[in-house]
Structure 1
């Protein structure tokens, strides 16, 4: 029996519950390096009695809830109307509804070092799907239908799409032995470290890729293999300049003349439905829309591919006056009727190009999106004007057949600069909410940042607004006011406020580590001294729990300060308080 299946082959009649729990812990620990990259790999097949069903899960100790299994099953196959013959690839996001999966230490480090827009998401899994449907007269339905789905916490769409494209065809040909070998190889990979070239070997292929660190604008190092590595192992090489970035221009080409409007909709977390004929097109468009606002993290929900069987279907198709803040990618014509009241609809057809896509004002009555031509349907009035120079440059690039990667680089850089122009005044203002360092005392409670006041912020725009970094004109104040009501503002503010709070805690702990507590303790009551010891320990414990950025030397000095004042106390108290040291 393979290692993968060993944890499920325990003889339950002879092993008690404690042993079983311990065995599961050992199994999880054993697969920790695998868990740095992949939660599990599912094989989904079509069963005549059950419909879509999970055939296998690797490694076998991984437990998915019934709802997670159901969502994976339905998302693993394109809707029947899609008519996807042959091989189809796309990606999905699946809400995690079981116990929160605790990230490995390496994944925690990954989240600390990478930009926010490629961090893992504690509430969702990413699923990378490879679906095959081919005629097979030997099967009861006359078709072979099966999917491989890689489930992970990482939004590395480029990398995992390539990995899935390598694994799936081999599995379809050779079966279980492929999956066991793949799982063991992934379990030997180094952890995902932002800011470094990664060399990952799988099935005689060397994947070389790069995940940015927080300095996301840094020049990407040359992704090149060491010659002796490839020669020694006779490896084929796949080089991915980015582990996560898709071909943004290709995805948005059909609606590129409205990219500024789409940027505003994404920035504000507006409800958008993307209707296309294939899940691949849907997923790429949804991914591109969320990427338009980088380096800001897209904090509203988004489903690159969504079906009528999804457990959140009722939640998202309710007749409420305001649809939820989500971008849905759909192929089923049923959604054309169900979501026709949504304020923003993007309709794409195969072969759509820039010339045949027209900007249309969505009419709320008598709209038949299913019968509509490709385009953007909305009544939204943008706050900002278009940047005609970049649009002209991109359209000329189409005419002159400029390489797609150059078009994407131009578009991505423009949108990055636009988002940064929008966010710089907010970053400057939130930094001003920090108390002055001279007012931070080691002997008083840790101060907290001042509250965010929208009116105070808006008052700064006349002298320090986006006009300093961009030439785009428009109602910036109106855009900010609308942004303050969006999930993206809430997510950004929560992250930045937490960072400021932790920075204040770190500054105070550093001050406390340098404080002369031997002098402070003179003349103090025992109860005050004990209280100070307990408070320092509480702050230290909280710094570990909250990952407050303090150095090891500061931690050591704080323990020294605790010992300094413990020794001023009577022997009996010293014994009690030294137990924890």
Structure 2
């Protein structure tokens, strides 16, 4: 199967602008876990007859550095690894609690990207192997030599052999998807017919932790390029020695000479924030908030052509409107999609989201077709063919700056536009925001908008600070959206007198009444700066019809029910306990 599209020649396959990939960071919770999942089409295989090498036991730097007898070649062998990393069953179960495996992908001239090896060994179906391989490579070249990081999310298509995980109780939770965090590299190679060697190293996992795994892959990727397969074995032993990935914990993870302090979210809808950390830890380079989006490079330049429309984009996100997100490279779409997912918290993600989506994805026909897109779908794409097939979508965001149009698609004499056509049709839409249906409900923060515009003209530090400010602003707007609902829900909780009159655990949240909610909204108002009272009412009428509201309300009922049940059990215990 070829990776080239109709717009490609037989030159290089997918790459992107070289962007620095450092650890990501930064947010507050409340919501419902994602819909129950299918499990993964992989089987965990061990061979107890092979020798076992005991991994280090402490995250101290000296215990996580690889021990190499001699300096290895910087060239990466394209042949499959001779053997798989061997771990004792308990160590393998601990590793599987964090990752499924480390995958190496190379480019084959006949079929395109193919998986070369998986450490520790993991049995994948052929369809999953193809999906992972193509998702790990960019669609089109964006640099001559270099590396970049991106991520993808693919459906877990089958059943995982979970026996080893169940035995030790350390299985990673699954939302029905597998996440891949990639380090893609292109190097000139005179021995290759294509003139380049293209490889990708991928961390496969069930955890939606972009900050953590981008940090890990940005450490491992360059070391793998320099030292080869021994780095994968060392990395597996390091990960197998990590503590359990218990939600809500802060854990110390030793990895290839680095000691990372990692905060794990309580659930997928908790927004982690550096502002909640002790002052001394907020700017620590290796304190990672696992579920936050990447902050390096700063997100602001990706939105430069759409700054004035960010308030409309936020509204479309919370109202579960589908958005197609286009960029020349998957590192850009990945960063943007994870950023959008993050500023929605604590509202649940009620639909599918794909940081990087290719025409080879098993869900391509289901998500890209002539039908109206699914509510809330966020699709990050770099292939202009997908963008053309999605021009009937109501909202399209093309990332980047107008000033970079020439860099995006250098014109040639043959590229002269014909009458009625634009110069950049083949490279995708111009950077900016295009909507067919949305009219804004809330007012922009014009002071913030001016700050953002000025920061776009500044240096890296200015862009970084403005990016953090932007995240805090829209996160606070999401919290403000929920204030009238939380106020009304408090009136539905049984009073202390009602609770005391029953020693049973049957008390629950009273039914939600739309008319009563709007009476409360009219009486108390909203915290969001709506452009009019009519806009305020229309906005909440629409939000109450979204699938996200249903998930959010179910989570609140679950929380209240649990608290009421615990209180009832304590009352029963106090009544029937013997008095001393």
Superposed counterparts of 1:499-578, under 5 Å:
499-516=559-576
Check the 8 A contact 2:350/2:376 in 1, yes or no. no
Shift of 1:473: 3.3
CA RMSD of aligned residues (A): 3.8
Q: Where does residue 493 of structure 2 map in the other structure?
A: 434
CA shift, 1:349, in A, is 4.5
Q: How far 1:262 moved relative to its partner?
A: 0.8
Provide the C-alpha distance between the structure 2 equivalents of 1:109 and 1:385, rounded to a whole number of angstroms.
47
Deviations, residues 396-439 of structure 1 (Å, cap 9, x unaligned) = 44456562332123222221221111111112222332333443
Aligned to 1:316: 367
Find the counterpart in structure 1 of residue 189 from structure 2: 136
Deviations 1:206-264 (A, max 9, x none): 33444566695653225669xxxxxxxxxxx9524644233343443332221110110
Q: 2:435 & 2:558 partners in 1: Cα distance?
A: 36
- Paired position in structure 1 for 2:524: 464
Q: From the superposition, tell whether residues 250 and 307 of structure 1 become closer, same or farther in structure 2 (CA, over 3 Å).
A: same
Q: Which residue is equivalent to 2:78?
A: none
- CA 1:81 to 1:316, structure 2 compared with 1: closer, same or farther past 3 Å? farther
Higher fraction of helix: 1
Is residue 203 of structure 2 the alignment partner of residue 150 of structure 1? Answer: yes
1:144-223 to structure 2, matched below 5 A, reads 144-192=197-245, 198-211=251-264, 216=272, 219-222=276-279
Give the conservation status (yes or no) of the 8 Å contact 2:481–2:528. Answer: no
Q: Is the 8 A contact 2:145 2:187 kept in 1?
A: yes
User: Of the two structures, which has the highest relative contact order with CA contacts closer than 8 Å and spacing of 6 or more?
Assistant: 2
- Does the CA contact (< 8 Å) of 1:271 and 1:324 recur in 2? yes
Partner of 2:475: 416
State how 1:320-339 maps to structure 2 within 5 Å: 320-339=371-390
Q: Counterparts in 2 of 1:7-18, with a 5 A limit?
A: 7-8=46-47
Paired residue secondary structure (1:452): coil
Sort the Cα spacing of 1:109 and 1:10 in 2 relative to 1 into closer, same or farther, 3 A.
closer
The corresponding residue for 2:80 is none
Residue 239 in structure 1 maps to residue 286 in structure 2: yes
| Deviation of 1:332 (Å) | 0.8
Alignment correspondent of 1:259: 310
The Cα of 1:166 is off from its aligned counterpart by 1.7
Residue in 1 that maps onto 2:337 = 286
TM-score (norm 1): 0.71
Q: Distance in 2 between matches of 1:220 and 1:110?
A: 28
- 2:211–2:288: 8 Å Cα contact kept in structure 1? no
What secondary structure is seen at the aligned counterpart in 1 of 2:344? coil
SS in 2 for 1:31: helix
Distance 1:178 1:351, change over 3 A: farther
| Alpha-carbon distance in 2 for matches of 1:303, 1:487 | 18
Query: In structure 2, do the counterparts of structure 1 residues 32 and 84 end up closer, same or farther at CA, with 3 Å as the change threshold?
Result: farther
Counterpart Cα distance in 2 of 1:128 and 1:263: 26
Question: In structure 2, how many angstroms separate the alpha carbons of the residues matched to 1:38 and 1:224?
Answer: 27
Aligned length: 470
Cα deviation code 1:532-557 (max 9, x no counterpart): xxxxxxxxxxxxxxxxxxxxxxxxx7
Is residue 351–residue 375 contact of structure 2 (8 Å, CA) maintained in 1? no
Contact preservation (8 Å) 2:151, 2:180: yes
Q: 1:531 corresponds to which residue?
A: none
Cα deviation for residue 267 of structure 1 reads 0.6
On the 8 A contact 1:262/1:289 being kept in 2, the answer is no
Distance 2:387 2:327 in 1: 11
CA distance in 2, matches of 1:476, 1:37: 43
Q: Give the Å deviation of 1:287.
A: 1.9
